[in-house]
Amino acid sequence: MEKLLDVKDLVVRFYTYEGVVKALEGVDLVIKKGETLGLVGETGSGKSVTALSIMMLTPPPGKIEKGKVLLKREKKYVDLIHQNEAFMRKIRGSEISMIFQEPGAALNPVYTVDDQVSEVFLVHRREALCKKVLEGIEDDIRRKKGGFSPKRIILRWERGIYGRMLKNPDSFLLKIIQRIPIIRRYQRRLKSEARKMTVQILREMEIPNPEDVVDRYPNELSGGMQQRVVIAMALACSPRLLLADEPTTSLDVTTQAQILDLIRKLKGEFGSSVLYITHNLGVVAEMCDRVGVMYAGSLVELTDVKKLFKNPLHPYTKALFAAIPKPGKKLQSIVGTVPNLINPPTGCRFNPRCPKAMKICPKVVPKMKEVRKGHFVACHLY
Amino acid sequence: MESLSNRWNKFKASMAPRVRELKFSLRRIKDSPLSIVGISIIIVFAAIALLAPVLARPQSSRDPYLIPHEGFSPTPRPPNENHRFGTTQGQYDIYYGVIWGTRTAFRVSILVVGSALLIGLVIGCIAGYYGGIVDEVFMRITDIFLAFPYIILIMAFVTAMGASLDSVLKALIIVWWPSYARLIRAEVLSVREEDYIEAAKAVGGSDFRVITRHVLPNSIYPVLVMASLDMGAIVLTAAAMSFLGLGAPVGYADWGQMISFSRNWIVGPPGNPFAYWYTVVIPGLFIFFFVLGWSLLGDAFRDILDPKLRRR
Amino acid sequence: MRSYIIRRLLLLIPVLLGIIILTFTILQFFDPVQRASLYVTNPRQFRDIPAIIQKYHLNDPVYVQFYYWIKEVLRGNLGWSKSINLPVTDAIIYFLPATLELFIFAVPLTILIGIRLGRISAVHRDKPVDHVTRGLAIAGYSLPTFWLGLMLLMVFYGFFSGLFPPERLGTAADAFVNSAAFTRYTRINSLDAILNLKPWILLDALRHLVLPVITLTVVNIAFVMRIMRSSMLESLGKGYVVTAKAKGLDEKTVINKHAGRTALIPVITVAGYLVSGLMAGAVITETVFTYKGLGWWSVNAAIQLDIPAVLGFSIFVGTIVVLTNLVVDLLYAYVDPRIRLG
């Protein structure tokens, strides 16, 4: 399987009043085509920052200091860090998409579902929409044959506009026209075509009554429905990579199961790769092909799912598994707390809490090594 | 019996988070150019007010707040060696007027803010803490006061009480306390629901103790913001009242009063329209900078202390 | 939503009542002779003050007086304004259009400019643009309204010899407007000029409006800007802004469409306070420019101890502000889908 995304040595720092937060220290990730890579870790381990940084949306005051984010495009690898905003805007939403933890917060409360989902189509699928509109206009013109009527003139004019939009989408004339109140009604054709596509994708998300749902406001929908809308927005343009940041954490268990099923099904249909971020090992077991474990800004273990569950190597991973509540057994927690990333521990960041810490641990940062076939660990034990 | 040093250490430890927050606030003040400008302006004015008797020696027998005037000639005279900023209509010395006017300004603002704060504190605490009917009645009363544009209410009160600086002061206090009361009440309401209040009461703390030790420290910040902004707003309003002729009497050292003179002199003789600029510009500048200083400070406080905007 | 509306309307009553009670309390500062003027509708009645005191029980206990006074107020009789020689109610109707004309220009300007500045300030937070904008807004707010007015007059009326003069109309225009050739539909000069198709009157009216409107706007912009800024900052930090970016939308759309719209909603709540502040500003501005509107009349009356005028004005303004707040609250509930459909 070939690599779709290759993150090399990503370093992200946040410059705050309290100091410099070293959020990500040299993260290496590879996502292959069609696979689901899980990213596990506690809150504050840097999982979300990783996902946002892949899209070059690191929230300020964060900055990407070093590293490469290589995306495969047409046989070449492009380093996203060195691309300009215009390029990234084309990628976001159409080639790489993201879904978030709280669907209620991710949706704008003052715009309808139609408005928000159609936006994606209007930005990334303009050409296809224009063509459809033109077909519709031609039909209308044919139907109005014979006789002179204002409607015909308007239709002709609309045909001209859309033709121009097809050929030259950034034309200055169009930019001006879309600001003039009455004339810009021509856009309703575009919007109605986009709406059709929106209803279609909502239907694919297994949302009942999509025609009805499109006109609703997000706060009128349940959590599960909201998340489906968010997923619809993300998958609207069949992205090659979907970044899912704890999409089911805020949902109840039944809805969670439904959403997971949905994601799995869609992954098969659309053929996208998924980076699935979660702190729930159960979900990992269900959804992922390979898993990476993050702690305090670095990747500590990376392997495929079965191997991780059968034989976790890193002390942190082992502690995570041990901490899963099992009836009848005493609850095992991990000693200590997540370190402050302004002054992280030196060397291996886990060493203050590690039961197997050695003298070398606080001194040297362990590198990721392939300890067994396809199983990477960053620990001095190996 | 613990040793003194132990007790001191414990105290320091308990105060540590507060000290840290304070240090953080101070740093943010340092980093904000607007608040530094504001503080500097206020310091300058405070110095002027304190040094008034030195900067502009009052004539021995009279009330120092009455501006001296040599003669009664109506035409203002430009700055000269005798009168540093010139004289305004009726030969009142502008320099003297603005210097002692600084004192008046501080007097007015401190008195009004202080009284309004105190009254508002008491009423707000009571209303917020005891709730129920008391609270409802109180809320309606403040609604009414806040419904009126304050100037109009002040005008009405001053007309009723007779125009003078004292009436203006009283009217200002009457009009201003509702906003403080509202603020304190909101803080009390939010703190009242906290668990530690239950705990304090369970341990047998009296209401008074609970209020002073828990509620007040938490509500200081927004009150501070409001008080700083009000220092400026009150001086503006008082000046407006004096300007309209409803405040300080003629010849009193009050900035607004001095500008009311200059109404007749904004346009000079043809050919020299700015002839009497000093009658308008100088007192006005004093008002402007005084209010600016406090407004900058209050606005900076608001930015610094607003928990949502605080951390980057 | 419906319960919200009903509740709001019910709240109206005690507040209006309170305004009336408050005004009445102020009234009690005066002795019966002075208070008599509140019940008078034409000057001839002044000759018979004792009869008035008798008729309205001005020497009786407070609650009796209140009853009689309320009756008169509800009948529309607010007394006689001696400074203008008109019944107070008539005076209010007479002076209202002038102040309204000021508001027609000042309110949209203040809101639009304030919103724009607030938005710019929030988007470029802590950069020089932000500091400058905020500094200017605060400076505007710190300017004494009357001082700004005087300075503007000094420059634009004195120095530029009459470019933007005080008062409402120049002498020629004033004569024309009061003549038979001109129909005063609304008594709002600019509007009437358009309706009468007389562009030179329109120009004259506008010329006289420039300085007062600027004065009013400058002082109140800070208010709107401040709330827009904080509201926008909060909006920009919300999740849906990240979503919008993740969809590949450009900066402008993200800021204006997504963050901007939601940020505007809290600004509506301030509109009520804005009207209140503008009213206060109008009082001073009209006095400085001798612009004969409600504000000018009220100050004139206050100086001459024309009690009915001052009180009548207070009641009127209080009622308007309360109604405006009501409208604003209802508007707010309508605009925010979360409340409308919640």
> Please, are residues C100 and C94 in contact by the beta-carbon 8 Å criterion?
no
Range in A197-201, B286-290, C276-280 with the lowest mean pLDDT: C276-280
Q: What per-residue confidence (pLDDT) applies to A275? A: 92
Q: What is the pLDDT of residues A5-50, one digit of tens each?
A: 888 889 999 888 778 888 888 888 889 888 899 999 888 788 889 9
Q: Smallest Cα–Cα separation from A109: which of A211, A221, A224, A228?
A: A221
**Does pLDDT of A139 surpass 70?**
yes
Dig out the tokens for A197 from the structure: 């596509």
Bigger pLDDT: B207 or C327? C327
User: How many angstroms away from the CA of B164 is the closest CA of chain C?
Assistant: 12
Q: Do C337 and A110 touch (CB under 8 A)?
A: yes
Q: What is the pLDDT of residues A109-124, one digit of tens each?
A: 888 999 899 989 988 8
Q: What is the pLDDT of residues C1-14, one digit of tens each?
A: 677 778 777 777 77
User: How many angstroms away from the CA of C48 is the closest CA of chain B?
Assistant: 24
Q: What per-residue confidence (pLDDT) applies to B278? A: 79
**Does pLDDT of B113 surpass 90?**
yes
The answer to whether C154 faces chain B, any CB pair under 8 Å, is yes
Residue of C nearest to A93 (CA): C247
Chain B: partners with 3+ C-beta pairs within 8 Å:
A, C
Q: How far apart (Å, rounded) are the C-alpha atoms in residues B157 and C21?
A: 14
Which range of A90-104, A334-348, B116-130 scores highest in mean pLDDT? It is A90-104
The answer to whether A111 faces chain C, any CB pair under 8 Å, is yes
Q: What is the pLDDT of residues B183-196, one digit of tens each?
A: 888 777 776 666 66
Residue B6, exposed/middle/buried by CB under 10 A (0-12, 13-18, 19+)? exposed
Q: What per-residue confidence (pLDDT) applies to B61? A: 65
Three-state secondary-structure class, residue B185: helix
Chain A: partners with 3+ C-beta pairs within 8 Å:
B, C
Residue B311, exposed/middle/buried by CB under 10 A (0-12, 13-18, 19+)? exposed
Asked if residue A169 has a cis previous peptide bond (ω within 30° of 0), the answer is: no
Q: What is the pLDDT of residues C140-162, one digit of tens each?
A: 888 888 888 888 888 887 777 77
Average predicted confidence (pLDDT) for chain B: 79
Range in A60-69, A222-231, C65-74 with the lowest mean pLDDT: C65-74
Q: What is the pLDDT of residues C253-300, one digit of tens each?
A: 888 888 888 888 888 877 777 888 888 889 899 988 888 888 889 888
Q: What is the pLDDT of residues C44-57, one digit of tens each?
A: 666 777 777 777 66
Spatial neighbors of A59 by CB under 8 A, at least 6 apart, are: A52, C242
Substitution target from C233, C247, C338 for chain A, most A beta carbons within 10 A:
C247
Residue of C nearest to A51 (CA): C246
Query: What confidence category does residue B206 fall into, taking pLDDT thresholds of 50, 70 and 90?
Result: low
**Residue B21: other Cβ atoms inside 10 A:** 12
For range A348-352, the mean pLDDT: 85
Sheet with A76-79, strands from edge to edge, namely A19-32, A3-16, A62-73, A76-79
What's the residue count for chain C?
Answer: 342
Query: What confidence category does residue B218 fall into, taking pLDDT thresholds of 50, 70 and 90?
Result: low
User: How many angstroms away from the CA of B179 is the closest CA of chain C?
Assistant: 13
Considering chain B, what percentage of its residues have pLDDT values greater than 90? 11
Q: Alpha-carbon dihedral of residues B267, B268, B274, B275, nearest 10 degrees?
A: -150
What DSSP string runs through A157-179?
HHHHHHHHHHH-TT-HHHHHHTT
User: How many angstroms away from the CA of B184 is the closest CA of chain C?
Assistant: 20
Q: What per-residue confidence (pLDDT) applies to B201? A: 66
Q: What per-residue confidence (pLDDT) applies to B66? A: 79
Q: What per-residue confidence (pLDDT) applies to B312? A: 44
**Does pLDDT of C62 surpass 60?**
yes
Locus of tokens 């300075």:
C151
**Residue C256: other Cβ atoms inside 10 A:** 12
Those of residues 25-84 in B touching chain A at CB distance below 8 A are 27-28
Q: How far apart (Å, rounded) are the C-alpha atoms in residues A382 and B188?
A: 59
Compute CA distances C243 → A234, A340, B105, B230, B303, whole Å: 9, 28, 52, 41, 27
Q: How far apart (Å, rounded) are the C-alpha atoms in residues C240 and C258?
A: 8
Bigger pLDDT: C177 or B226? B226
The answer to whether C116 faces chain B, any CB pair under 8 Å, is no
Locus of tokens 């209050």:
B298
Q: Smallest Cα–Cα separation from C100: which of C221, C217, C189, C207?
A: C189
Q: Do B232 and C142 touch (CB under 8 A)?
A: yes
Q: What per-residue confidence (pLDDT) applies to B2? A: 64
**Does pLDDT of A211 surpass 60?**
yes
> Please, are residues A279 and A41 in contact by the beta-carbon 8 Å criterion?
yes
Bigger pLDDT: B22 or B53? B53
Bigger pLDDT: B80 or A136? A136
For range B142-170, the mean pLDDT: 82
Q: What is the ipTM of this complex?
A: 0.81
Q: Do C246 and A93 touch (CB under 8 A)?
A: yes
Spatial neighbors of A57 by CB under 8 A, at least 6 apart, are: A92, C242, C245, C246
Axis crossing angle, helix C307-335 with helix C261-288, rounded to the nearest 10: 170
**Does pLDDT of B308 surpass 60?**
no
Query: What confidence category does residue A90 fall into, taking pLDDT thresholds of 50, 70 and 90?
Result: confident
Substitution target from B142, B159, B259, B277 for chain C, most C beta carbons within 10 A:
B159
Query: What confidence category does residue A264 fall into, taking pLDDT thresholds of 50, 70 and 90?
Result: confident
Q: What per-residue confidence (pLDDT) applies to B128? A: 75
> Please, are residues C215 and C145 in contact by the beta-carbon 8 Å criterion?
yes
Of A52, A108, A120, Cβ closest to residue C262: A108
Q: Is A322 left (phi over 0), alpha (psi -120 to 50) or beta?
A: alpha
Q: Do C317 and B152 touch (CB under 8 A)?
A: yes
Q: Do C243 and A119 touch (CB under 8 A)?
A: no
Of A57, A108, A230, Cβ closest to residue C245: A57
Bigger pLDDT: C47 or A356? A356
